[in-house]
Structure 1
Amino acid sequence: MLMGLVLGYWRVSVAQNTAEKFFDRSLLSAALAISRDVAISGGDALLPSTSTLIHDAAGGEVFYHATGPSGIYVTGYAYPPHGSISDIDLYTPHYFQAEYRGEAVRVLKVVERVTSEGVSGNATVTVWQRLSERSRFATQLAFRAAGLIIGLLLTLALVVWFGVAHGLRPLLDLQQAIEVRSPDDLSQIRRPIPREAQGIVRTLNRLFAKVQESMTAQQVFISNAAHQLRNPAASVLSMAESLRDAQTPADQHQRIEDLVDAARSSTRVTEQLLSMDRLRQPMPESHRTQFDLAGLLRSIGADVGPVVLSRDIDFELVSPDHPILMTGDQVFIAEAIKNMIDNALKHGGPKLSSIVVRLREEGNKALITVLDDGKGLSPEESELALGRFSQVEPSQGSGLGLAIAAAVAERHGGNLVIEPADKGASLTLSFLR
């Protein structure tokens, strides 16, 4: 529509220019014909054929006025419109606008040098025509152009409507096929579609695959979580019932201690499950803060050191004296470090006698390595050791500690690697600072 308006305005302008040029040339032809007839007839009258020709060629009524040498009136209408002609271009046809009997007219004045019956002088022929004739002609041209443009626009609209309706029919069929699917059906779309829409369908198929994978992972997580929570809950219930049946104060005290341990284990599993679920979500910007990783590590050492030492295990913390600034989720990073230390305690075995936690820098990365001299863990066991709810050997753990540490590292642009060690296990946690 916008292009139609632009073309319409352009065609109106062209029609006006065309009408002006056409009528100006018609006036010039009329002036030359009148001048010829006046010269031939000696100023008596115009030939009938000339009058007819002028009217037909000009497209409307033409008025004229002719004078001979010295301005003597020869023929035509008595009072022509007035307009001045400079002496420099005296013999050049001169056009101008004027008013004749209350109407706007276009006037042409032609001056020629003539000799009649031995007398020489300038003969002037003035012809004029109403401007309304020109406007009428220009309007006709404009309406014809507008009709052509409207016809083209209607044809274009019809072609576009047909093309779009025909081209989108496969997509409408695809829409209907998707609408009849059940919420559980996330299989790939295999309907034939136009080449232009194949990219959309491939993207939908990839999205369906990711949604299916996410749903499957969520279902597996829920199933494993239910299994992991069932054992501690059953243990707490069993110990609570046994506490009720205790016969002696010593027996009752022992069962209370067992109940507290079972409740603590159940709480630990619940916290790990919640942490794993939160790690599946994008990190909120409010949780991303800048802190001193070396100071955090010393604080963790102060918390877990007494627990490790109480089990007659040496505990050493190696950290630079200067601060190591880190930007990230401080709570999750602390939990990841604690999980690595807890993993060494639970899986080190009876020969475990030493745990070393070392912090160092490498470029824009911070690396935390936990070494122990216990049972040992090889890089070949990484998939099993770092998987969720999986363990290399059965133990009291839930199988989530190292999985959470690996997820925290990945969340902060790093990873968790099991490195070769001559004795015991060596795990390195890396973060982008």
Structure 2
Amino acid sequence: MHPEVARKQPSLFARLARRISFVLGIGAALLVTAAWYYAETAANKAYDRLLVGAALQMAESLSVEDGILTARLPTSAFELLGLADRDRIFYRVIDTHGQTLTGYDDLKTPTPLERAQDVLNVEEGFYKEEPVRIAHATRVLADPAVSGRAYVIVAQTNEARLALTRELTLRATILVFVMSLLAFAGAMLAIRYALQPVERLGTEVRSRDPHDLTPVSVDVPRELDPFVGSINHFMGRLNERVDLLQRFIADAAHQIRTPLTALTAQIDLLGAGRLDKAGRQHFDRVKERTSELSRLTNQLLSHAMVIHRADSVQLEPVSLVDVARRAYRAAIPITVDPDIVISFEAPDERPIILGDAVSLREAIVNVIDNALRHGTDQRLEVRVRASAMQGFVEVEDDGPGIPPESWARATQRFATSKSHEGSSGLGFAIAQEVAKAHGGTLSFNARGRKGFTVVLTVPLYKGEVK
């Protein structure tokens, strides 16, 4: 998976955090709803007791004087209802004939008084289009002048009840919110701790050397055993493929280079002295094509070797001068034109780099070979120098060079490196890949008074050399 795509994917920790927060949110909503219900019930019970107590006190205050039913409503009843200072009180006293003795004539109970039996039963109703709680009390009179049932109806608005309900619910909500936060924080710590084996497994795999394909051995929970087993199975298969690739490169190098060398030798032995003009032209073309085939085959094998070593060989401190000198000796053929002046320059102190000597040598060999074949006219210089942080291998020739507009294309595979003929190869592509594998670059300097220069730059090694 591409790194940018992988970063867009949410982590397992983030997914668990979202799901737990969703569950805690639903739980908190249910708890707040339950808190509202219980707060409303508690507020109603508290204020209903006051309402019933006031109704009973009013009923007890009824008396018969001189044969007339009178109501001396006690002040304590109104003081009791006055504890709910936000609410308004409505009352009605009904005599034994059903007539209003005092109070509001239009105040009624939802349930007819004749059928209401429980004095503690408080009902919800409306009075003057305003919601109220209504309680009633019955007084049985047995006086010779007045006998029968008298009723007291008391109603109270709901503002104090709602205020108490909101206060209790708010306190419960704060408590639920704090507990939810603590639960979420605890769950995140538990998840983080539970995911530590996954992080250890990832660290173990990332920290391994590229060429270390031995099975992963990490203590993980039982749930991760299939995952570790899959990694080990894949690494085993990859190890087999790497071994096959190494054998293929070795076999290809032997099986292809040997017949090509023999073919080149046979062509050289054949000669062109007994051929006519047309035959010599064909002979020269066959010889040229055989040489190009041999060179391209060697480059392909070198390219495969460089790619393989970049992923499988551990870098170690090496002398850049020694590597460049060996590449110089390998790249300059014995049959080079004696008219070409070839030189090698290196500093007295040997700059040390962290690299793969074989891959670096192949890269420098390809750059020198490219200069000999396509650039050098009368002079070729190979130089090694160093700055405070970097080492440089410069290959300079006095040929026509590469136009600046073609520099980016020159490092591509099978791109032409000549400014006049249509030759293509892998020389600069190999050098570019080796430079990248070592944290360096391959660059070109425009042809100046001296010539065209190819520069291989790699960072210097600052550690101790054993």
Shorter chain as denominator, the TM-score bin is 0.3 to 0.5
Calculate the TM-score normalised by the size of structure 1.
0.47
